[in-house]
Amino acid sequence: MKFKSSSLAVLIVFSAAAHAQSSVTLYGVLDAGLLYQSTTAASFQPNARNLGHVYQLKDGGIYSSFWGLKGSEDIGGGYKITFKLQGTFNTTNGKFGLSDTPGTTALFNQFATIGATGPFGTFDAGRQIIPMIYAMSETDVRGAQYFGSILTAWLGMNQAAGWPGTSTNAPIGALYDSNALVYSSPKFYGASLALEFAPGGNAGQFQGGTRESAVLKYSNYGLNLAAVYYNGHDTNPYPANYPAGPAVPATGLANNRFYYFGAMYTISGFSLSASYSVGKNPAKSTTYDFEMISGGLGYQFNPVFKVTSGYYYLKDRNNSANHSSEIAVGAEYSLSKATRAYAQVGYVDNKGTMNQTIVYGTPVAPGVSTTAAMVGIRHTF
């Protein structure tokens, strides 16, 4: 009897220790505000007509609203097994975010990964925000926000290349990749490397639907540098009228390429950023070939208040009549550790068929100037 009691006590101790080595966290963000935009359109198509100004409650003035689950298990020796499930939702109507397939939504459209961390770095497998987006955010004073930033400018390149905005399959670069295998190295004197490969899973066609990317970053002494290479095969296979129009069969042809070089320097509260990038379809470079230049300036007045600004220029390298310039300014005030209030204003001057947007998810009429303003609040939990 004593033996059984002792054994039970040992099992309870070890069970408690094993439980303590694992953790699961529920987390999320709600971000919404009032938006005014002087022009709007029904789609991102370059021939969409101007429907006039719009006032609306808009989700995502800084970033999208999302919720998720993440966890890790310590398996010893400095190694952990990790997982992450995260998806966007719209606070104005409760709908989940876009998936890879037009017209459908997904519960975990941002992250659905399992991975490992250790002295070697980190490895994640599954759908995820890819390394190039972090590199762009870290070299943009506006931080790749959903209102007037390097993110909305890059999406402008995709819209000019025919992206209908109905799915997360974009013709230039990628915000998310499904089936992705991503390795991120530890920092070595401020330098780090991230590599991605996403198998396409197409029978009989090894390169069909595959994506690969490499990101080299440096972060030290207030300086952030980033170089990005992204290459995709058979990306953006769905037409705007899918499923009425069928998806394009996988061929293995490289049709999605993006290069990015960016830098940001912060000193005494001031931040200055600049970048240069090119996005093209290598299979149709005489049709889709765009250039993007950005610059930014910001100041952190105190721990709770900052102002940021950015300028973003896009040019169609095949047609000089198609170009656009955007400027955005925003102020953020932290009401608490979990809550921020913000106000933002932006202006874009689109020429030709360019339709660079100011706000993610809100189309503008191509070829006309547009002004937008938004006030909102963002809360994390």
Q: How does DSSP classify residue 250?
A: P
Average pLDDT of the segment spanning 290-311? 98
Distances (CA, A) of 80 to 14, 21, 122: 18, 9, 9
Distance of CA 103 to the CA centre of its chain: 20
Architecture of the domain defined by 32-380: Beta Barrel (2.40)
Which amino acid is located at 173 in the chain? G
Range of lowest pLDDT (29-33, 71-75, 149-153, 244-248): 244-248
- Give mean pLDDT, residues 195-222: 95
**Residue 2: its pLDDT value, please?**
41
CA distance 187 to 138: 15
140 versus 247: the higher-pLDDT residue is: 140
Question: Is residue 374 within 8 Å of residue 344, measured between CB atoms?
Answer: yes
Residue 71 Cα distances to 17, 26, 83, 350, 381, angstroms = 17, 9, 6, 45, 16
| Mean pLDDT of all residues belonging to the chain | 93
- Given this model, what pLDDT does residue 240 score? 75
List the domain boundaries for the chain: 32-380
CA distance 72 to 83: 6
Amino acid at 120: F
Judged against a pLDDT cut of 60, whether residue 1 lies above it is answered with no
Q: How far apart (Å, rounded) are the C-alpha atoms in residues 185 and 196?
A: 12
Six-digit token string for 163: 């992206």
Distance of alpha carbon 330 from alpha carbon 339, whole angstroms: 16
The Cα-based distances of 241 to 91, 251, 289, 343 in angstroms read 27, 21, 24, 36
Q: What is the pLDDT of residues 165-200, one digit of tens each?
A: 989 999 999 999 999 999 999 999 999 999 999 999
pLDDT score, position 84: 98
Whether the pLDDT of residue 356 is over 50: the answer is yes
User: Residue 19's pLDDT is what?
Assistant: 47
Do 132 and 228 contact (CB within 8 A), yes or no?
A: yes
DSSP characters over 366-378? TTSEEEEEEEEEE
Q: What pLDDT score was predicted for residue 46?
A: 81
Taking 50 as the threshold, does the pLDDT of residue 80 lie above it? yes
Top-confidence residue, 219 or 22: 219
DSSP structure class, residue 132: H
What average pLDDT does the segment 155-173 reach?
Answer: 93
DSSP 1: -
SS (H, E, C) 5-54: HHHHHHHHHHHHHHHHCEEEEEEEEEEEEEEEECCCCCCCCCCCCCCCCE
Phi/psi at 141 (5° precision):
-55, -35
Report the predicted TM-score, pTM, of the whole model to 2 decimal places. Answer: 0.91
Judge whether residue 18 has pLDDT over 60. no
pLDDT of the residue at 241: 80
